[in-house]
Amino acid sequence: MADTIRWERGEDGIVLLTLDHPGRSANVMNDEFGASLAATVDRLERERDAITGVMLTSAKQTFFAGGDLESLVRLNDAAALDADTRRLKQALRRLETLGRPVVAAINGSALGGGLEIALACHHRIVADDARIEIGFPEVTLGLLPGAGGVVRSVRLLGIADALTNWLVRGQRHRPSAALEHGLVHEVAPREELLARAKAWILENPGAVQPYDVKGYRIPGGTPATPVLAAQLPAFPATLRKQLKGAPYPAPRNILAAAVEGAQVDLETAFTIEGRYFIELATGQIAKNMIQALFFDVQAANARGAAAQKFGRVAVLGAGMMGAAIAYVCAKAGMQVLLKDVTVEAASRGKEYSARVLAKKPFLPAEEILGRITPTADPADLAGCDLVIEAVFEDPGLKHKVFAEVQDVVAPDALLCSNTSTLPISLLAEGVTRREDFVGLHFFSPVDKMPLVEVIRGSATSAAAVDRALGVVRQLKKTPIVVNDSRGFFTSRVIGTFTNEGVSMLAEGIPAATIEQASSQAGYPAPVLALMDELTLTLPQKIRQETAAAAVAAGGTWTPHAADAVIDHLIAAGRPGRSGGAGFYDYAAGKRAGLWPGLRDAFGGTNLDVPFADLIERMLFVETLETIRCLEEGVLTSAVDANVGSILGIGYPAWTGGVLQYANQYQGGLPGFVARASELAARYGARFEPPQLLLDKAARGERFE
């Protein structure tokens, strides 16, 4: 078993422990680390009389990456996990009670297990580097900090601060914010970390943890403190409001571990934390989230071998999407030519970047803004090696802007269209180098959404797809690759979700019930509220274009029950939030409640549909459409489906993604088939299981 901790003792008696897992790019909390830590603490205790103090630092780019997710995602043995976590916590507890000062010299990001190790030190010094992140992101993977993180953060910060700012939402803080909260003690230049650590050790030979001092009180008190006792009922109420009934157990377990642990001694608190951790780690939801949000995202990010770095990009169109794309390109180091019909319009697009940067003081705003040049002259685009078009969704307009620039930019420039629904093969008709034409579908808001859908047209070369993957990597976003079709994967599938929610209105189901069902399913936005954000005219236009294309190809078009509802609202002057009215009323741009006229127009008295059916209709309809995308070759991998559905269109993360939802449904794929058939009998043929699903279920397979 590899030794993951290097030991060096200086003449001053200070031991430097360097975390350095051989053969890994990052340190992780696995069996090898646990054994190394226990052996290291054994040696510290044996040689304590010759030791002045201890410093912990890392040989990796990060301080410590956290738990070993490869082991966790496969582990189902609760007893074995309990034994492992107990041993780890015992070793950390022995370290902090060594009787010698222990300092963490945090020279890289300390997330999850890395922060738990640092909290077991008496003093924490972080390098002054805005790239470093400090936090407990476990909740975003369905877990909680299981190596003492809940217990120590509560004792150091108090229940309210620990829960609100660190644990329940998994925030990642910059070093300065961690210092402000008091979770670290110093922020120093990287080259001074060890010198400052040594100085602190020499000045504090009798250092102990604050909570080991007799009479120490948790900041803000315990649940027995009258003031805190009066505030505590608000915590679960706030949590319920945030979760909206969605099945995410990790925040609930974190809250319980924090409150219960604050009422008992330290060792008992560790035991309580451990039980809540094991419940999560052995549960299906954490496994779903780890697989999708870590391993599947990792696999998506690893694709493509292109080494080209793009230096000069032409962004065509300075509207909302073009302006946002220009920002992320400039932030990634590219020189951006932001083109619109007038310099004034292009300059307004650049102002978007200034507004975003004003909220991010840790970024070099002047440098990033200096990379964006507004222009209306195609000649200024000479030499651009990348073109990203982001004009209005009209094939004729897109053809026009590409015709204007394709002979001006570099002769081998990659030509990309940011379209959400229009077939790439259709748009490629507007360029002469169709093999270099590819779809790059960004999601709004571009600066926050991590996904980009790369669409391969019928003439797109493999080299162009590879180069497009390189663009996405350069922008530090996650790509999925899909083949061409109207709506591609993400727009096509999210359309089934919104249509399902709207069609429920046509069935007379109360709007508030529909919204509650989508929230309890785990969608980040209720379905009717989401429709208002997208604007109702967009799906109407997409539907009209799709119907026209189907008829032109000699086929037929079958209206959806949602169509009449959307048409009714548009005719009533309620096109969505941007128009000031939609399914919701708005006051000063903010939602002011569902429009009472929905009940008059659609009844809203149908209370006969089981609530569980409403939830599963939304989840099932997206999964079934995804399977059809696989059948048709639009999708070629489960990774793209799962990653794209969660990161791009808000499919509930607890499921692990659209295809994993079917895999993990009760009874596996056969159980999913049975439930889909039941929904089809009640609500229509759109729930009929596709043949690919039937075949896989019959063979005992999964979507992988």
What are the pLDDT digits (tens) for 386-401? 999 999 888 999 999 9
Q: How confident is the model at residue 485 (pLDDT cuts 50, 70, 90)?
A: confident
Q: What is the set of domains in the chain, with CATH numbers?
A: 5-205+218-282 (3.90.226.10), 312-484 (3.40.50.720), 491-611 (1.10.1040.50)
Task: For residue 388, give every residue at least 6 positions away whose Cβ sits within 8 Å of its Cβ, in sequence order, or none.
Answer: 313, 314, 315, 316, 322, 325, 329, 416, 417, 418, 440
Question: What pLDDT score was predicted for residue 685?
Answer: 95
Mean pLDDT in residue range 560-582: 94
Helix (H, G, I), strand (E, B) or coil at 673: helix
441 is catalytic: yes
Distance, in Å, from the CA atom of 142 to the CA atom of 645, rounded to the nearest integer, reads 18
CA-nearest of 413, 370, 355, 422 to 392 is 422
Helix axes 611-632, 638-649, angle to 10 degrees: 130
What would the pLDDT profile of 593-611 be if each residue is shown by its tens digit? 999 999 999 998 999 999 9
Q: How confident is the model at residue 73 (pLDDT cuts 50, 70, 90)?
A: confident
Mean pLDDT in residue range 456-461: 96
Distance, in Å, from the CA atom of 615 to the CA atom of 514, rounded to the nearest integer, reads 9
Burial of 343 from C-beta contacts in 10 A (0-12 / 13-18 / 19+): middle
- Identified catalytic residue from 185, 441, 560, 568: 441
Across 549-614, where does the E strand assignment appear?
584-587, 590-594
Task: For residue 639, give every residue at least 6 positions away whose Cβ sits within 8 Å of its Cβ, in sequence order, or none.
Answer: 296, 299, 300, 480
What Cα–Cα distance (Å) separates residue 507 from each residue in 333, 495, 594?
A: 51, 18, 17
Enter the pTM of the model: 0.93
What would the pLDDT profile of 525-542 be if each residue is shown by its tens digit? 999 999 999 899 888 888
Helix runs in 415-536, H state only? 424-427, 462-474, 490-506, 511-521, 527-534
Pairing of strands 134-135, 172-173: antiparallel
What Cα–Cα distance (Å) separates residue 484 from each residue in 212, 279, 419, 424, 432?
A: 63, 43, 12, 6, 19
What would the pLDDT profile of 547-569 be if each residue is shown by its tens digit? 888 888 888 888 899 999 999 99
- Which amino acid is located at 400 in the chain? K
Q: How confident is the model at residue 126 (pLDDT cuts 50, 70, 90)?
A: very high
Averaged pLDDT score across all residues of the chain:
94
